[in-house]
Amino acid sequence: MVHFSKIKNLIESSTPAQIRATAYRLKVGFPVLIDSELDLVPRRLVDIRSTDLLMSLLDEFFGVNAIDPQGDCTIVKKFQLQLRRGVFNCLGLFFEPTKLFGCHYDSGGDWIKSLAEEPAITEKLSDRQKQHISKLGATSERDRAH
């Protein structure tokens, strides 16, 4: 949901939900979930109009590596999502617990409240810094090699 604006035009429905998991904040400030039973974390069930291409792009964006899943920071797992109308089996992304270097526990995992209180580093960047990062991201691999 941190990147909601990037997929909002593809969302068909969004429903409040909860998941048994543990929430952490990465050093850069983004929230991640670990597959555990520690907290009842607020989330949303999002139905999106998807294609195989979109799902591949989202997997790549969130660091899922289909070729080498052991090297990922993000893992795809089945889990149960609690809605008002019952419990549903879902497929979603969790952060790999062995990659939690320098992260801190986010009690309760309310990412909206947490990000409002302490925005991610990317929200603190100046426009000039954001432009510089965009230029770096647009540089091709060939250009960096020369």
Does 73 map to a domain? yes
Tell me the pLDDT tens digit for each residue of 34-84: 998 888 898 888 888 877 887 777 777 777 776 666 667 888 888 898 998
pLDDT bucket at 31, cuts 50 / 70 / 90:
confident
Structure tokens at 1: 């949901």
Does 132 map to a domain? no
Does 125 map to a domain? no
Residue of 58, 81, 53 lying closest to 7 (CA atoms): 58
Tell me the pLDDT tens digit for each residue of 119-132: 887 778 788 887 88
What is the count of structural domains for the chain? 1
Does 36 map to a domain? yes
pLDDT bucket at 87, cuts 50 / 70 / 90:
very high
CA 109 vs CA 7, 31, 114, 122: distances in Å = 22, 8, 8, 20
Does 45 map to a domain? yes
Task: Name the residue range of residue 48's domain.
Answer: 4-118
Does 47 map to a domain? yes
H/E run at residue 60:
helix 52-61
Mean pLDDT of the chain: 80
Does 130 map to a domain? no
> Does the reported pTM lie above 0.85?
no
CATH code, 11: 3.10.490.10
Q: Greater confidence, 134 or 14?
A: 14
- List Cβ neighbours of 109 (8 Å cut-off, separation of 6 or more): 21, 22, 23, 31, 33, 39, 41, 42
Does 142 map to a domain? no
- List Cβ neighbours of 97 (8 Å cut-off, separation of 6 or more): 34, 35
Q: In angstroms, rounded to a whole number, what is the distance separating the alpha carbons of residues 120 and 117?
A: 10
